Every structure is written in C-alpha cells, then in structure tokens.
Amino acid sequence: MSTYTPKNILITGAAGFIACHVANRLVRSYPDYKIVVLDKLDYCSNLKNLIPSRSSANFKFVKGDIASADLVNYLLITESIDTIMHFAAQTHVDNSFGNSFEFTKNNIYGTHVLLEACKVTGQIRRFIHVSTDEVYGETDEDAVVGNHEASQLLPTNPYSATKAGAEMLVMAYGRSYGLPVITTRGNNVYGPNQFPEKLIPKFILLAMRGKPLPIHGDGCNVRSYLYCEDVAEAFEVILHKGEVGHVYNIGTTKERRVIDVAQDICKLFNIDADKSIQFVENRPFNDQRYFLDDQKLKDLGWSERTVWEDGLRKTIEWYTNNPDWWGDVTGALLPHPRMLMMPGGIERNLDGAEKFDLGSNEFSGKSNETKMVTPASKTSNVPPKSPFKFLIYGKTGWIGGVLGKLCEKQGIPYEYGRGRLEDRSKLLADINTIKPTHVFNAAGVTGRPNVDWCESHKPETIRTNVAGTLNLADVCREKGLLMINFATGCIFEYDAAHPEGSGIGFKEEDTPNFHGSFYSKTKAMVEELLKNYDNVCTLRVRMPISSDLNNPRNFITKISRYNKVVNIPNSMTILDELLPISIEMAKRNLKGIWNFTNPGVVSHNEILEMYKKYIDPTFTYANFTLEEQAKVIVAARSNNEMDASKLKKEFPELLSIKESLIKYVFEPNKKTSA
C-alpha cells in the first residue's frame, strides 16, 4: 500500500465542527506539513475551535469564501497548495428545507469553484471531498449490510441532494481532467465544538438548562454516531493511504434510535426521561435509517476506538465546561430551527407555526407544567369501526411502502414493524403493542444493486430471507395471526415439461427447479419450510412492474436503462393491480401458495416496444443471448411462465399481463399519440 505525503494542505471550513478536529490533529501531529485553513466564519463556525493550532508555526488562518474564485486561485498559488481537504458546506437538514438556495450556492457552486481552481493551477496532488451518508438516501430497515461505496445515490432532501450534486462534479473533474480526487461519506459525528443545532449538543444544552428535549416524530429514526476524534483519525488515514479515484465510507455498525440518544443523555444528567422528552412534529422528510458498510476504510487500517458511553460522557463534560462557547444559541435550540445563513453573521428566526419559549417547560410557552406532546398517528383519521389492522414489515422497501399507501387509501389502520425479522423478542413486542389482525412480510434481501450481491453475502441473505421469515411466521402462528408473505417466482426455469412458448406454466404445487442464484435458493428453501405453517399465505411475485417509471426497482425502468437485454417471455407482476388484491386476500384469510402474477407472459422486447409506442418513440435497444448475458452477471437469472389460473379463479377480474401493462402502466404514463 503506497503512502502519500503532502506538503501544503488547504482545509476548507476548518472553523467548523469536523474540520477543526482534523486541522488541529494534523497541525499537532505533522509539524512538517503547512496547514492553511479557509473559512468565511458562518453562523456554525467559530475561531475558538482552532485555538489549539493558533500558536503553531505550521498553521495559517484565512477568512474567506470558497465561492470566490480569485481568492481560491490566489491561495493555491501563493501557498503552493498540493492538497485540499474540502469540508466547507451547509449541513443542517432543517435549514435546507427553508433556505435551499444557500445550500446550492455553498455546496455545489463552492465545490465547483475549488475544482476549477485545481484544474487551472494544475498543482494539486490530492483533492479530498467530504460528503455524507445521506447521499445514499434511506436504508431499508431490514438491511443487514450497509450501503457500500458503489451503492446508488438516492438523496431525499435538499441538503443531501446538493452534496450528491457536488460529488458528481468531483467525479467528473477526476475523469475529465485527471484531478486526483477522493470522496468520503460519513455517518453522524458528535463531540466537543459542535454547533447546537445538531441533535446531541442541542439535547445536552437543553438538559443543562432543565428544558424539554424535542424529538421529531416518534423518535424511532435510527442513526449511527462516531466520536469526532475517531473521525479525525479516519481523515488522517485517508489522506495518507487513500487511493485516488476511490470513495470511502466513514461509519460504524452501531446504531441508535433518536429516542435512545435522548434517554442516554437524560440518564447521564440524572433526569427523568419520561418528563423531559417531548415529541414534536416531524420534519418534511425524515429518513428512517442510514447504514454504511465501512470495510473498505477498515482495510486501510482504521477502526472506531471510542465507545458510545465514553464519547457521550466526554461530550457532556465539554459542554458543561464551555456553556457559552457559541454565545446566544436560543434559536438553535428550537424544535425546528431556521437560520438565515449570511457570511460573517447570523440571524435566528422562529417559524410562525412554532411556539417554543425557552423560559418554560413546554413548547406552547403557556405553562411551566411539563406536558407530553405525542406525534400524530398515521391512522388518526381512520374510523375506529374498521375490523382490520395491519402490521407491515418492510417499510423502506418498494412493496412495503406501497402497501402503506394502499391502506391509507382504503382507510385500513396499519403500522410498520420496528423489529428486525431475526429478533424474536422485538417481533413479539411489535405484535403485543400494535395488536394487528394480519401481518404482511414485505421485508427481504434481494441485493444491492441486484441478486449478484447475494452470491458474496450468503450468511446475510440467509439471516433475513430464511431465518428471519421463518421467525416471523412462527411468532405469528404463536399469536394466531395470518402472515401474508411476499415471495418470488424466480425459483423455476423453463424445462422439458414447461417449454418456452408452450403456455404451460408452473403451478403452485410444482417443485422449484431453478438453482442458478443463491437468492433463489434461499427463497425456494424458505417456501418449502413455510408449507409446515398453516397460518401463511405465500405470494410468488415475479419481475415486479408499477406505473412509477422513475423507480429504479421497476422492471421496466431497469431494462430501459440496460445497454442490451435478452428477449425471452416471462410471467410478471403488475403491482398496481395485484397489491390491492393482496389486501383482499388478507381480508378473505386466504392461505397456502399462490402464483402472484398476471396471466400469460410478455417478452423484454414486447415491453420495450410498448415503451417506444407510449413513452419515447426515439428509444432504441439491443439484444444479446443468454450466453452473452452470462458473461456480464455473476448469478444466473430465472426465466419461466407461472400458471396464474388459481389466482384468476379467485379474482376473475384479473387482467392478462399485456392488458394490465397497458391499463396500469403505459396508458397513465402516455406521452405520445400512440
């Protein structure tokens, strides 16, 4: 492993939280490196954060904005900068909802200015761009392995969208101009010097003042937290050992719910969490979970050192000893702060809808009496006479998400399960708390970005697809509940008895004959075992399609983006038609195995021809053979026809696959005069 040795480093945003710890560490540990820090001293920056470095001979502070091309070019040349560590950014998600253009200006335009200066001067040997785990978007609640560096970027809020946009610029400059770029994506960081708009310092300062701790929503959002010095060490390792062109996740597998963090802080302050925690309105979109795979960074020699209890205790001690570090932070301690971000100054505004008096013990500001404000239930407007209540697993998955929307549309009370499928005690807790009439299991591992992932993650695949599913079925049986289990029909392959084009489909009682992928093996295995449970309704889904053509999991979306496709007929599932049927099946208490596909088959080419006809007449595609496909995939893919006559008999109105495609997918998305 080669080691990089910088000479003159420019650190942007170094008077901010994370960057100050990195700057102070490098100044202290490497006296031969010259550290130049650039910061415009925005509201969340503080020169006091750099006090440990101020008297060092190898340290220089420059007040300025990364958006100033003249300043940046001047610094790179006059200071002979060979390395940039780019931390400067607007980072608070709440602010991005109210002041998103400032995020675009700082995070995207500012980064672009830096990159262009690097291109023009031609002297940069390392450009380390600091991004965030939020660019991956929400992680599935049931995911057992986190997002890795090659995972798709799916940001969900203006902040993460601007960070993803900045990453694209960094990558483009690396590819187009050969700029030696490295990108990092990190979990939440906590510790001394953090501006108290962020969760942990906000809770600490409120607890110090004897005020309520406001929690967005129900407090069950999950986050991973790293202590600031561990993160500073990670950047030290990446600076010296990171490979140009690579992305590195800086993360931890230890996760905590927001409410757990609040309770831990209350415990260390010896205050009653039940009286101190208050639930407030959730922010516009609050991702449930971010989860990273940090093995790549561990391979460079880094590992998390500070355990949560020690890090939190040190952080509390620092804020206790430095209560006025940030001056008047009243506005930052509000449940939903909105900052007007201006260089060199700060104005803190309170949304008109918010009434939070720091002089009282409740958010209404009307009384000193502690009051518990609970989050509004999703089903608060549902008539109580409904005979059904559904418990759904797989909240962040495609099918699980759509099921929730269908329940809302039909007025069916529902809640998403919080427990992991492999944790029996959490499943029992969900059922005992929610008291459902039916349980839907839409959780499972299919792989990121596809089933090839399962080939190299077999224990993780077994844990969820087999052990977890059986665990849930067994708990439901114990509680006398029907479980609707979304399975797969990718456990069969055309054979002599079911030849392609014959119209002879595999029936529910047929034995799986496809063993080409580990994913399919686990699904076939668990299906066979579930036959022993009389409380399970197994729905075999195949190549799911919906009217949402922007969804990357949609089969049409996938094949329309492929360079080449195989042209072979298959049974498929139109979710817009069939998911409402799954709810009806629960109401009818149907059990056993069902081929959950539309009758008939459709080929890849037929779908793409429909796509051309209804969506984009300029669209083109190319074919390749199964043999050619096998050269570019790890695991084989299943191709088959399923016999849907059992489902059709139960639901006579069920459309054939081609009719359903036109009615539910292509007609609603029609953009041509087809």
Give CA separation, 240 vs 151, 167, 203, 293, in Å.
25, 21, 36, 21
Q: Under a CB-based contact definition with an 8 Å cutoff, are residues 127 and 181 in contact? A: yes
Residue whose entry in the numeric block shows the structure tokens 């053979």 = 625
Helix (H) or strand (E) holding 329: none
Strands 188-190 and 222-227: parallel
CB contact at 8 A, 88 and 130: no
Q: Torsion-angle region of residue 143: left (phi > 0), alpha (psi -120 to 50) or beta?
A: beta
Report d(CA 668, CA 76) in Å as an integer: 54
Closest CA to 129 of 302, 45, 13, 6: 13
Three-state helix/strand/coil letters over 81-132? CCEEEECCCCCCHHHHHHCHHHHHHHHHHHHHHHHHHHHHHCCCCEEEEEEE
In the set 39, 82, 94, 133, the catalytic residue is: 133
159 a catalytic residue: yes
Residues 6+ apart with CB under 8 A from 177: 119
C-alpha–C-alpha distance, residues 169 and 523, integer Å: 41
3-class secondary structure per residue, 2-33: CCCCCCEEEEECCCCHHHHHHHHHHHHHCCCC
> Which residue in this structure is represented by tokens 């560590």?
85
How far apart CA 580 and CA 585 sit, in angstroms, is 9
Angle at 477 between CA 482 and CA 579, to 5 degrees: 25
Q: For residue 381, give both structure tokens.
A: 């407007």
How far is it, in rounded angstroms, from Cα 650 to Cα 74? 75
Please pick, among 102, 140, 142, 159, the residue that the annotation labels catalytic.
159
Contact 19, 47 (CB under 8 A): no
- Residues 439 and 391 sit within 8 Å (Cβ to Cβ): yes
The sign of the dihedral angle between the CA atoms of 161, 166, 170, 173 is: positive
Q: What angle do CA 12, 13, 17 make, to 5 degrees?
A: 135
Question: Which of 664, 532, 510 minimizes the C-alpha distance to 598?
Answer: 664
Enumerate the H helices of 508-566 as residue ranges. 518-530, 555-561
**Structural contact between residues 38 and 10, judged by C-beta atoms closer than 8 angstroms:** yes
Can you tell me the distance from the alpha carbon of 146 to that of 292, in angstroms, rounded to the nearest whole number?
4
Which sign, positive or negative, has the C-alpha torsion 328, 332, 333, 337? positive
Q: Which helix (H) or strand (E) holds 59?
A: strand 59-63
How far lies 83's CA from each of 35, 242, 293, 320, 596, in Å?
10, 13, 27, 36, 56
Indicate which residue of 39, 94, 134, 138 is catalytic.
Answer: 134
Using CA atoms, how far apart are residues 450 and 559, in angstroms rounded to an integer?
13
Instruction: Compute the distance between CA of residue 517 and CA of residue 521 in angstroms, rounded to an integer.
Output: 6
Q: Buried (b) or exposed (e) across 585-611, using 16+ Cβ within 10 A?
A: bbeeebbebbbbbbbbbbbbbebbebb
133 catalytic, yes or no?
A: yes
> Would you name the residues annotated as active-site residues?
133-134, 159
